[in-house]
Amino acid sequence: MKEPKVLQVIENKPIAAGIYSLELYHHALCEEVLPGQFFHIKCGGDKFPLLRRPISLSYTKREKGAVVLIYRVQGQGTEFLSSRRPGDSLDVLGPLGSGFEVNRQYERVAIVGGGIGIAPLVELAGIYGDRAAVFAGYRDETFLLKELQERSADVRAATEDGSFGYGGFVTDLLLQYLKEQRTDMVFACGPKPMLKTVAKICRENSVGCQVSLEERMACGVGACLGCSCAVNERDGSLQYKRVCKDGPVFRAEEVCWDE
Amino acid sequence: MSSVDMSVNIAGIRLKNPVMTASGTFGFGEEYGEYYDLNRLGAVVVKGLTLRPRKGNPPPRTCETPAGMLNSVGLQNPGVDFFLEKELPRLLDRGACVIANISGASVDEYCLMMEKLSKSGVAAVELNLSCPNVKEGGIAFGLKPDLVYEVTRRVKECGQKPVIVKLSPNVTDIVEIALAAAEGGGDAVSLINTLLAMDIDVWSRRPVLGNTYGGLSGPAVKPVALRMVHQVAGAVDIPVIGMGGILDWYDAVQFILAGAKAVAVGTANFVNPLAPVEIIEGIERYLVKQGFTSVEDMVGALV
Ligand SMILES: Cc1cc2nc3c(=O)[nH]c(=O)nc-3n(C[C@H](O)[C@H](O)[C@H](O)COP(=O)(O)OP(=O)(O)OC[C@H]3O[C@@H](n4cnc5c(N)ncnc54)[C@H](O)[C@@H]3O)c2cc1C
Ligand SMILES: Cc1cc2nc3c(=O)[nH]c(=O)nc-3n(C[C@H](O)[C@H](O)[C@H](O)COP(=O)(O)O)c2cc1C
Ligand code: FES
**B140-164: per-residue pLDDT in tens?**
888 999 999 999 999 999 999 999 9
Q: Which of A91, A215, A221, A246 to mutate to test the interface with B (most CBs of B within 10 A)?
A: A221
- Work out the pLDDT band at B2, boundaries 50, 70, 90: low
**Whole-Å CA distances, B219 to A98, B67, B137, B244:** 31, 6, 33, 7
Nearest bound ligand to the CA of residue B215: 2
Best of B26, B57, B71, B270 to disrupt the A interface by mutation (most A CBs within 10 Å)? B270
Mean pLDDT value across residues B39-44:
98
Atom 43 in ligand 1: residue holding the nearest Cα? A216
**Every domain of chain A and the residues it spans:** 5-96, 109-212
CATH superfamily of A5-96: Translation factors (2.40.30.10)
Q: Which amino acid is at A6?
A: V
On the question of pLDDT at B18 being above 90, the answer is yes
Read off the pLDDT of residues A149-181 as tens digits, 9 standing for 90 and up.
999 999 999 999 999 999 999 999 999 999 999
pLDDT at residue B11 in the model = 87
CB contact under 8 A, A50 and B64: yes
Report the atom number in ligand 2 closest to the C-alpha of B71: 1
pLDDT higher than threshold 80 for residue A189: yes
Condensed to tens digits (0 to 9), the pLDDT of residues A24-71 reads: 999 888 999 999 999 999 998 778 899 999 999 999 999 999 999 999
CA distance B176 to chain A (A): 31
The more confident residue out of B134 and A139 is A139
CA-based nearest distance B219→chain A, Å: 9
Of B63, B97, B111, B131, which residue is the catalytic one?
B131
CA of B1, closest CA in chain A: separation in Å? 24
Question: Which residues neighbour A183 within 8 Å (Cβ) at sequence distance 6 or greater?
Answer: A108, A109, A110, A133, A177, A207
User: Per-residue pLDDT tens for A119-145?
Assistant: 999 999 999 999 999 999 999 999 999
CA distance A148 to A24: 20
Q: Does B131 participate in catalysis according to the annotation?
A: yes
pLDDT at residue A233, rounded to an integer: 86
pLDDT band at A236; cut points 50, 70, 90? confident
Measured between beta carbons, which residues in chain A are less than 8 angstroms from residue B69?
Answer: 50-51, 218
What are A65-108's pLDDT values in tens digits?
Answer: 999 999 999 999 999 999 999 999 999 999 999 999 999 899 99
Helix (H) or strand (E) holding A94: strand A89-96
Candidates A240, A241, A243, A258: best to mutate against B (most CBs of B within 10 A) is A240
Pairwise CB contact (< 8 Å): A48 & B67: yes
pLDDT, averaged across chain B:
95
Residue B131 pLDDT greater than 80, yes or no? no
Q: Nearest by CB to B61, from A3, A222, A226: name it.
A: A226
Contact B25 A224 (CB under 8 A): yes
For residue A224, how far is its CA from the centre of ligand 2 (angstroms)? 9
Number of domains present in the structure of chain B: 1
Q: Is A218 in the pocket of ligand 3 (CB under 6 A)?
A: yes
The neighbour count for residue A137, using CB atoms within 10 Å, is 28
Contact at CB, A226 and B71, closer than 8 angstroms: yes
Q: How many angstroms separate the CA atoms of B181 and B126, rounded?
A: 12
Tell me the pLDDT tens digit for each residue of B97-128: 999 999 999 999 999 999 999 999 999 999 99
The Cα–Cα gap between A49 and A58 comes to 24
Q: pLDDT digit string (tens) for B242-284?
A: 999 999 999 999 999 999 999 999 999 999 999 999 999 999 9
Least CB–CB distance from A2: residue in B27, B34, B269: B34
A109-212 CATH fold: Rossmann fold (3.40.50)
B76–A228: do the CB atoms touch at under 8 Å? yes
In angstroms, what separates the C-alpha of B179 from chain A's closest C-alpha?
Answer: 31
CATH code for the domain in which residue B123 is found:
3.20.20.70
Classified as helix, coil or strand, A191 is coil
Least confident of A17-21, A233-237, B31-35: A233-237
Across chain B, the runs of DSSP E, i.e. the strands, are: 8-10, 13-15, 19-21, 44-45, 62-65, 68-71, 98-102, 124-128, 132-133, 139-140, 163-166, 188-191, 195-198, 200-201, 206-207, 213-217, 240-243, 262-265
pLDDT score for A27 = 87
| pLDDT attached to residue A259 | 66
Q: Are A225 and B26 in contact (CB < 8 Å)?
A: no
B1 inside domain? no
Closest partner CB to A51 (pick from B30, B31, B69) = B69
Whether the pLDDT of residue B73 is over 70: the answer is yes
Contact status of A93 with chain B (Cβ, < 8 Å): yes
The reply to whether B87 falls in a domain is yes
pLDDT band at B136 (very low <50, low <70, confident <90, very high): low
Would you call B201 an interface residue with chain A, using a CB distance cutoff of 8 Å? no
Q: Which of A1, A227, A240 sits opposite B36 (nearest CB)?
A: A1
Nearest alpha carbon to residue A152 among A127, A170, A172: A127
For residue range B170-183, list pLDDT tens digits in order.
999 999 999 999 99
- The ligand 1 atom at the shortest distance from the C-alpha of residue A43 is 25
C-alpha distances (whole Å) from A151 to each of A126, A155, A243 are 5, 9, 28
- Ligand 3 atom nearest residue B62's Cα: 1
Interface of B with A in 17-36 (CB under 8 A): 24-27, 30-32, 34-36
For ligand 2, say whether the CB of B247 is within 6 Å of any of its atoms.
Answer: no
pLDDT 10s digits, B183-215: 999 999 999 999 999 999 999 999 999 999 999
| Residue B62 falls inside a structural domain | no
Residue B292 has pLDDT above 80, yes or no: yes
Instruction: Provide, rounded to the nearest whole percent, the portion of chain B with pLDDT above 70.
Output: 96
Question: Residue B17 falls within a domain, yes or no?
Answer: yes
Q: CA-CA distance, A137 to A156, in Å (whole number)?
A: 9
